[in-house]
Structure 1
């Protein structure tokens, strides 16, 4: 398993390097704004378990790169860090941590571009289990996750008709979490392994007033994902037509109708004589070789919706839609507001049938290609909200996908809202949201427990600030709050929170930092877990 995780890390690291190398080549004839800054770092960490009166110390060695290319043809930012913790306590092992985010779009020819996103982070596996936010000390219920996508996009006009097409290949890999901290005797949940996806979109349309009084767009989409766990297959085919009718200078009405065929299927887990799933060495369910492919979810038929678009200025757009899909009512919408070039607000109300890999891929694609680096010593970077840099939009949150790692497909509904503000080196960001997932799985009648029909939910909030003190020094601060409710009978809710601060001072290529963090998580019926962490470090910037 460790070899597979390291191979995935190497693959994504190579992809990051290729993106960095390719971008300047595309931009060589343009005015460049290019920055590539690799670094190495060494530090000393002390973490205190305030609940159990236990103190651990670590030495940490890290290496990483911060890179950005912003030109008329290339928008690319990469932030990646590999960190190794060397523990002084025999009862706690050493840790390897990968944290990184890359988002980029490169114009390779007229009307043709290539877009990509890569992510490395750690997240909770079982929604009922432990919820440590710190990346040091006891790390029950935490898995390393790698995810990425890449593909070309084409957009052009043929007379008054705008045509567009895109393809994306996606891949997601998660490590096994070890101990989850779930109470003994609780139902076992499956552990996601990896998935691959292929997504194709094509469309053709005309704007209002060019050919007809209303705008018309005809589109088709195909999405296929295969997960090796329980041989799961997700396949979605959609054809639809959308109409836009302006009714005022700033208001338009919309309506859409189409056909969708969506199917999710998988094989049964191998069960023992008591109806309990048999596990492999990594804690994942073994697949029953005699099981047929069973339908976990299927919908086939007409879909439709109607809505309104309000655009009072070039800086503000609000959309709201209501319709019928997945056999019932559906609601979704967006808000985008750029108060100034430096202050942006974004909100998204969503409703879709998803898989873990699919939701993560789509959320990653929604992040900006220029984002604020949240330099924190201990929290799980890029697993929550990411805030856009000046002029790049507000950003987005991955919490909906990361409230836990799910093998089963689910219907995801929720809302995310993000505010980002920058002024010189002063950066502020606030994100919050709510997520609900209703799981979809085949009925395995001889199993002791099924996730089918169970609904979990989470609430989350995050705030970040980078405040410069002088030209060479400043303070970073982060506040995090999460609440998780699994929806499984007899499983209590889990609350986690954190507050961290980091002071840095740079002396040319050498940077120094001092960090402190306070963390807690609690479960009903169990003692609250509270810990504190401190670190001093020295970084050399090449």
Structure 2
């Protein structure tokens, strides 16, 4: 029987496993070929940060020591990037405790043979825990309602041609770990949500495609998939089987119609929590529910039946692609689609409309898997790389994507996720501009009348926007700026006491600016930030931040 890993073990698995696998994929294929571009830049950094509460007047300061590495590879067979940073914060005085912070993102694609590709991705960041509470943006000073998390996945993809049939198959193995949040109960009162722990996911897909005109005037695709994720909190489980067929009928050189029908079975389930004599769930030392091993497995969500959709594909040129689908799925209308536009080598736009039954771990792994293998890190951006919002690519062909939809809060329950997000990136001379915008809606699923579960039937939503700008002033200096705004509607009016406004919307917005100057291997940084959030009818909380730092790059 597998024993429950300790906190140190799971953290090491998420960090060392993700970093080592990605580093191996980056290094091994490069030894067998002449690399066109390989860079590895380790560094150490020291900084001093001041945090001022503009409402209460409190001023906190702390010293940070950090070590990290930025690496990238671009060869004929391998494309990838790794950016990781570990930071230790030492608070001055008793009002600010010491903290360990991990921040990193990695994406790599490695073509092993003509038919076989390995893909991997990993992330370490901090994200909002409870959608009802505080919405910290800069994560500077004492922050409530935030959890450190890690996620990694890897797997092979295979493609081959058998006569007129193109065959594709892939497998992904993923792991996600979330530490307990930085508060004991909800910041706004009401009944607490359970805390996500960790999960392991397996996904396998396969498809066979015949192009239009090969054996019929229309194209044909047959596909199938199996998806399973198990989470330690309350032994939660997601399991899905899928199979479908699609046809593609061109009606002009630029337009094609498509339609498909499939059959799927999806079931999410969990066990009950242990309760005391009063019916209150019993918690472990980390504040998580203790699973009742003798409990029957309770169904949170189940669908079993036929679904279908139809759509249109428009590709007027090699730089523009638009695809839209509408159909019946999950018992209601379903809309999905994508749009990409590459105006030039350095300017690109991407829009995604999505709809699917998800878990936090599955949606996070999908999100980081959709990010480009070359991305902007905001080099020497004073308040650190957080990777918990939009990530912008370095080319117009891969402009990036946003993780705000999954990071609006960390949900332990399964849910139906619907929304739209888009990113644009543009480089002109010494300047780079990026923007992200989106909307996300989640309908949460949980067993009825399960002890301690308070999210049954809840539907939350969020809106988010982000602007990023960087400019090189000289070969040794430059400026960065970041502006963001978020609005969260938690939709939890039925779980909070009448005298608590925890069911009201939460606003979060802020801005940062950084100037850096390099003296050879030594770089210096000065940053300013302004941040505010507002929960319900409570007054807005305002804070200001300032930082000076120095980095030595080896």
Distance 1:270 1:351 in 2: 34
**Which residue in the other structure is 2:496 paired with?**
none
Residue ranges of structure 1 left out of the alignment (5+ in a row): none
Change (3 A) 1:387 1:50: same
**Which residue in the other structure is 1:363 paired with?**
367
1:34–1:70 CA contact under 8 A, matched in 2: yes
1:130–1:181 CA contact under 8 A, matched in 2: no
**Which residue in the other structure is 2:459 paired with?**
455
Secondary structure of the equivalent of 1:20? helix
Q: CA deviation at 1:450?
A: 2.9
Give the alignment's Cα RMSD to 1 decimal: 1.8
Structure 1, 187-196 or 7-16: larger mean CA deviation: 7-16
**Which residue in the other structure is 1:186 paired with?**
190
Residue ranges of structure 2 left out of the alignment (5+ in a row): 494-500
Q: How does 1:38-437 map to 2 (within 5 A)?
A: 38-179=42-183, 182-183=186-187, 185-375=189-379, 376-378=381-383, 381-437=386-442
Q: CA deviation at 1:392?
A: 4.3
Distance 1:277 1:56 in 2: 37
1:122–1:380 CA contact under 8 A, matched in 2: no
**Which residue in the other structure is 1:534 paired with?**
546
Q: CA deviation at 1:448?
A: 7.0
Q: CA deviation at 1:22?
A: 3.8
Q: CA deviation at 1:14?
A: 5.0
Q: CA deviation at 1:391?
A: 4.5
For normalisation by structure 2, the TM-score amounts to 0.94
Q: CA deviation at 1:180?
A: 6.2
1:518–1:532 CA contact under 8 A, matched in 2: yes
Distance 1:146 1:370 in 2: 20
Q: CA deviation at 1:15?
A: 3.5
Count of residue correspondences: 541
Change (3 A) 1:4 1:449: closer
Q: CA deviation at 1:278?
A: 2.4
**Which residue in the other structure is 1:498 paired with?**
510
Change (3 A) 1:215 1:196: same
1:266–1:294 CA contact under 8 A, matched in 2: yes
2:201–2:230 CA contact under 8 A, matched in 1: yes
Secondary structure of the equivalent of 1:283? coil
Q: CA deviation at 1:243?
A: 0.7
Q: 1:496-538 deviations in whole A, cap 9, x for unaligned?
A: 1110011011111111111111111111232221111111111
Change (3 A) 1:486 1:372: same
Distance 1:536 1:444 in 2: 53
2:262–2:306 CA contact under 8 A, matched in 1: yes
Distance 2:188 2:428 in 1: 51
Distance 1:55 1:229 in 2: 38
Secondary structure of the equivalent of 2:365? helix
Secondary structure of the equivalent of 1:334? strand
Q: 1:41-91 deviations in whole A, cap 9, x for unaligned?
A: 111111111111011111110010111001120001011111111001213
